[in-house]
Each structure stands twice: as C-alpha cells, then as structure tokens.
Structure 1
C-alpha cells in the first residue's frame, strides 16, 4: 500500500450542514480558488493563452487535454523528446468537469478483464512514483482505503471466479463470508449478501485535480503545445493508390488535417501525421466530423460514446458511525459508498446503467427508484439520515459494451481512439497513454496488450464486457 501525506479541509455547501473532503491547505473553496487562478492567468497553466503563431504542421494532434489526452502527450514526449511535435487541443482549459467530479480519483483493482486489471495495476505504480514521474511539486494526497465488493447469492460464484482471475494477475485480496463482513463492518446490512471480496493493497482515493495539473505541466515542460480550441471539422484527401477491402478502388479519403476554432473565434487548421481522439463524452460527436457513423462501409459504424450525468450524494454525519476503517463499498446493486476522507460524512452514488430505459429516467426518478432504495437496503439507518446531492458528474460512456475503445480506426488508420473508459479513465490514464504512444512509435503494444479494446470489435459485433457483480 502506498501512502502520501494528505491535507483535508471543510467548507460549506449550499446547505450549511453539508461538508465534504477537499484537497487544499487553506480555507477557500478549491473550485473557486482554481477558477480564480486559471481565470487570471491561463497562460501560466497552458504555457501561453494566445500563441504568436499557430502551427501549420505537427506530427501528432491530440483532441482532448484531460487525463487520457494529457497522458498520451506526456508519453509521446517522454519517449521522443524533440523527435515528435505534439499539439493538444482542449476547449475547456479550466477543466471544470474534472473539478466537479468528486468521485474521480478512486483507485480500485476490482476488475475481471485482464486488460483493466493490468491498466489499474500500472496506474497504481505510476501514482506511487508520482513525484519521480511528474515532479516533486506534485502532491496527489493519496488516502489509502480498501475496496469491498459485495455479491448476492446470484453472483457469489461469479465473484469467486473474478477473484481467481485477479489473483492470477498478481492482485492481493481476500474473500469474506457473511460472518466476516458482519464482524469487520457491523453497519453493513448483509441480509441479501452471500459473499464479499476486499482488496488489501494499492486502493484508495487521491486528488484527481492535482494529478491532471501535474500531467499537463509535465507534458508542457517536455515540449507539448496546448491550445484553448474547439475542433470544428477535418479535411480528407483522396488517395487513389490506396487499396482497402470493402472500399471502391480510387475512392479512399485519408484524414490529414483538423480544423479548429480558438476562444476568440479565430479559425485555424493544422496538418498532422497522426491524430488521437481523446475528447471524453464528446468523442462520438467529433468522430462524426470525420464521417465515422455517417459514411458508408467501414464508416457506417458510429463511435458509441455518450455523455452520462450521475449524481453524488452526501450522508451527513454517517462516517461517525461507520468509523475510520470504512472501505469503498461496491454494492451488488451498483451503488458505491465511501468515506469522505477524515470528514464526518459519507459519499455515495450509482454506476451508469446500460439499459436504454435508464436514459429516460429523470434525476428525481433515478434517485427515488434506484439510489435511495439501494442505500437504505445496505445501510438501514439511512432512511433517517439527511442525504443531499453535492455534485452532478459527467462521464464518457460506451453504450456498446461499457468498455473503453482504444487504437486506430478501421478506416482512418491514422486516427487513434481513446475514449469510453468512464470514471476509471482517470487512474488508468497512465497505462492508456503509454499504450497509444507505443502504437504510434512502435506500431504495436509493447507492455500491456490492449488489442481487444480496438474498434474492430464493433464491426464484428463482439463486445467484451467487464463482468463485475454490480
């Protein structure tokens, strides 16, 4: 288990009694503090607010400067230094969504796909050595906290199978019987629980905002150029000498240039050798600008990335009852619960639902029909606790199979996709960024084989599901 010094603070939310953990060393709201810093001096954060000259040609363009996009920039420049020119286009240089997502930075190893397990293991290693990787001034304030996964009788066998896969990948965790759970966590209602599994190392939560700032700054220090810009389209060039199965000879059009608009509405374009689409929940829309999902043949299949908004709730004073050893609980219903650092409240939310009917539920209906019943079922006293929403989070969600999409597009082989990883994209970003850098520099994966995450599985209609028990 790795541990760094943490700092906590308390500030007032809309309701005076609501407090939640933040990572700061003074009394100002960190969201307000961050906004003031960025608003007054965006040039410090992104190198310069308005370059004297916009590049006309670069080796690699990265669309999206969040965790994954900045990780890709970091790895490309780490591996090549001046050998590759890298441009990052990010339309929100304040990263407001990141600052609002209090559930980001939850590090867990509880996965069933070897790819996700390996990415999470490497994410833990990268964070463990964060000062060596990003600089000694980067403090992610890691807070160790084990993850407890609960399974009903229906999924108990699956949980045992999951643990077997995890142990084969080198993870350390323990299966817990109902008696074990009651003894260690008496506040958990186990009437419908058959089995549990708790991780014993490399789990907890950290300051995701500090992590992202560290990635951006290090990438810039290595030579990556960040621009405050929104992508508006692509230019495609006909290449009559290219032959591709399913494509009429002479009709192939290669993506070669991206058009974008700056914050002051100036329009520019830049030619590239390779482009990476890592724009989170906007990736599906941007892909359409390259005819993905609106064209014919290989271009007829869309990039199925959508935005899902999820609420995070605070349970006032409840952490006083659950204690300092409160784990991050992943309930069999899809509910998650964790302590809010050293504060007295708990935080909770619910994982996205794949079913189409879930998208038709209003926020109030989702809370009343899914979140609240699941919470009261697991912690019975919560029907008497003041529970209120503290934030609405946005995640990029792959509606095809809920797993990330990574690697070159089947038609545009110089357009690399890196989206759909949802909340786990934060702590898996180091491995994802390294993987894309390997594809560009070495033409194949050299560390973790992530071939199964490729776009081709959409063409073949072969989903790879993360078979968790929640």
Structure 2
C-alpha cells in the first residue's frame, strides 16, 4: 500500500529526531519535504522525557567534548533559536556543574580526561581534597584523591521542554509529524527507497534518519545493518533532605552513584552491577537498588543524606552501544540515504543539538560543515576501531 512521498523521513520524534528535522527545515539550502514518524506522540516513555536531563563537557573523548560545547551554546540561546511567533522556550537551564570524584585508583583517568577537556576549551578544574573540602564543606573527602569540577557550561535542564521546543519549531518550519510506528526501511540497489509502517503502508523517500532510540536496532536490521546496541534499564530516584547541601553540583561518586538538585529536593541513581543489568524493555522500578546501593553510597559521601525522605521514582532506558559506549552517527556506507543516530549510551539528550545539525548537514550538503562527527561513524565497527568513552554515568 503506497502512501505519500517525502524527501526525508525521520524515524523517532524525540529530541534527536526533532533536532534533525529542525536543522533540515532551517537550512536555506534545503527545500525538500520532511516527515517525522513517532509511535508514541504522548512521549511519556521516551528517553528524552525520562532522563536526568543534564549536560557536561567532562568526557574522555575529544569529539564528545566538542559536541557538548556546541550543545551548551545552543541551550544558552534556545530562546532565540527556537522561538515561534515571538514565544521563546525556556528550559530552565541551571549551570550547576558536574563534580567527578576519584579514589586513588581513579586519579590517573581523571587527570587524563581533564587534559582532554582543557585541550578542547572546556572550563573545568582539577581539585585536590583540601580544595574540595573548602568548596563543599558538606562533602566527606575520605578516600578521595581528587575531583574534577565544571566551572561553567555544565548542569541540568528540562529535557522534555527541549524536545518539545525542537518539535514545535520544526512544525512551524513546515515539517510534518505523524503518529505511526515504522516497521522497516526498504532498500533497493543499495539505496533507501522508503519506510514501511506497521499497517503496511509504504512511504517513499530518498533518505531515512534512524533516530528511533531503543527501537533503533530493529530499524537498522531491516536495512541489513547490525547494531551492537542494547536496551538497558536505568532508574531515577528522588528524595528531600532534612539539612541543606548548598551549592551541590551534579556529583558522581567513585562508586558510580550520582546525585543532583531537583527543585527543593534531589534526584539520583546508579547503573546496576553488570551481572544484574540484562537487556530490558520494561519500566518497573527496583527500589532495592536505592535502598541497598544508591542511598548508602550517597550517605557515606554526603553525611547529611543519612536523613532523607524518599520521593517518587521512575525507569527509562539507555540505548547502550556495547562496542564502545559512543553513538553511531551519520551515513552508512553501502546503504545510500540511510543515516544513523543510535547507541548514545545515555548521552543523547545533551548531544541532540550537535547531532541534529550534523546529520542535517550531511543530508543537505553531503558532508559535515560545522563540526566533523566522522569519529562517530558506523564504519569504525567494521574496522574494529572502537572510540571508547570511559565516562558513562
């Protein structure tokens, strides 16, 4: 059953997909038609709405630092960039900083990452334990060798608001959104020719962007591409504290547990141990992770967190790239017109501005114009050349 024809079909209408659509429609050199397919128009269970919604420059790979430097500049000016009919979106950007803490065994990696970040122009500081105590008197520095603090350009924001701002601006620029489930991509003679929907309808197109999040692996497989991307459940817990913790950044303990302010309280979480981290597509919350792992680690590092009142909790999913914990971005060799934006491993929301811009540039201009994202190309998998990201929270 044939349907309409479009120049570009974007599968997935959350932050990344809507960023691609916006950047395409905003490019003066692009005059084509864009369709965004989103199977859940309520967005209640998409990663953009369920994540901790934060941005940082503290990565171990230069390309991720560069992506986030553009990302923070975009978020700072989002009101002007994504205004519609004079209405300027406000995503509540709070540049509260990230604080990565390291024990003796983690100091070398912390220093190496700090050097990469500084070389790219990130505003970060390496602090010794006495400096940490002076700046954060509520912090227990026992067992710490150092900490790395983002002095600006890092923090948190309204992730759902960013997604909706991209979507609203894209629609205002003429992008069509449709509530539909994409089942497969059709390829003829090594070139994308269309997208098949769940009801059997085929939409003809010349380019497809796979921004389907947790469903991206199946979409890629339909085009003959095997992605080593797995759905991993991540849970976020909230609480309020009896005593104040002034100036608390987004803190990552050496145990991997993290916490940041959220309104008058805090939100926190931790990745399960590998042996307790199977592929998962459910949204059930395991409260024992908070009780047995997260809270004890936080109370040991921030003693006033011994007295808290737990709040609501929820679960979402990382599309985890098992190859190197970095996303696959851009065109796919051998399948002309097929573009990937998959395997973000928890970084997708903050990387959506730069990734959307980059993919749009590839479609319109045939190359990256602003920032070369080719280090994240899918070809690194076949070449067995992983670009490992060591700072996955």
TM-score, normalised relative to structure 2: 0.90
Q: Which 10-residue stretch deviates more, 375-384 or 114-123?
A: 375-384
1:121 to 69, 80, 92: 69
Deviations 1:405-437 (A, max 9, x none): 111223313211001114321121110001101
Contact 1:98 1:209 (8 Å CA) reproduced? no
Counterpart of 1:386 in 2: which secondary structure?
Answer: strand
Partner of 2:249: 327
1:391 to 281, 303, 314: 314
Mapped to 2, the partners of 1:431 and 1:465 lie a distance apart of 19
Report deviation, 1:351. 4.3
Mapped to 2, the partners of 1:60 and 1:340 lie a distance apart of 38
Mapped to 1, the partners of 2:82 and 2:392 lie a distance apart of 35
Contact 2:231 2:279 (8 Å CA) reproduced? no
Partner of 1:159: 110
Report deviation, 1:305. 1.9
Counterpart of 1:395 in 2: which secondary structure?
Answer: strand
Contact 1:61 1:86 (8 Å CA) reproduced? yes
Partner of 2:323: 400
| Residue 194 of structure 2 is aligned to residue 257 of structure 1 | yes
Mapped to 2, the partners of 1:469 and 1:195 lie a distance apart of 18
Partner of 2:203: 270
Task: Give the structure with the larger strand fraction.
Answer: 2
Report deviation, 1:132. 1.4
Mapped to 2, the partners of 1:155 and 1:138 lie a distance apart of 40
Report deviation, 1:141. 1.8
Q: 1:139 to 1:347 in 2, by over 3 A?
A: same
Partner of 2:388: 465
Contact 2:21 2:356 (8 Å CA) reproduced? yes
Counterpart of 2:341 in 1: which secondary structure?
Answer: strand
Contact 1:336 1:348 (8 Å CA) reproduced? yes
2:268 to 348, 357, 364: 348
Contact 1:62 1:73 (8 Å CA) reproduced? yes
- Structural mapping, 1:235-314, within 5 Å: 235-237=186-188, 239=189, 253-261=190-198, 266-292=199-225, 302-314=226-238
Mapped to 2, the partners of 1:66 and 1:359 lie a distance apart of 25
Unaligned runs of 5+ in 2: none
Counterpart of 2:323 in 1: which secondary structure?
Answer: coil
Report deviation, 1:381. 4.7
TM-score, normalised relative to structure 1: 0.76
Deviations 1:376-414 (A, max 9, x none): 332345445333552112222112211111112233132
Mapped to 1, the partners of 2:341 and 2:47 lie a distance apart of 21
Contact 1:68 1:426 (8 Å CA) reproduced? yes
Unaligned runs of 5+ in 1: 1-53, 240-252, 293-301
Mapped to 1, the partners of 2:150 and 2:48 lie a distance apart of 27
Partner of 1:299: none
Q: 1:443 to 1:96 in 2, by over 3 A?
A: same
Deviations 1:409-466 (A, max 9, x none): 2331321100111432112111000110111122221221111211111112221111
Deviations 1:91-137 (A, max 9, x none): 11111025884543212221121111111111111111112110033
Q: Which has the larger radius of gyration?
A: 1
Counterpart of 1:154 in 2: which secondary structure?
Answer: helix
Q: 1:236 to 1:162 in 2, by over 3 A?
A: closer
Counterpart of 1:68 in 2: which secondary structure?
Answer: helix
Mapped to 1, the partners of 2:180 and 2:251 lie a distance apart of 39
Question: What is the aligned-residue RMSD (CA, Å)?
Answer: 2.4
Partner of 2:358: 435
Q: 1:149 to 1:179 in 2, by over 3 A?
A: same
Q: 1:415 to 1:390 in 2, by over 3 A?
A: same
Partner of 1:187: 138
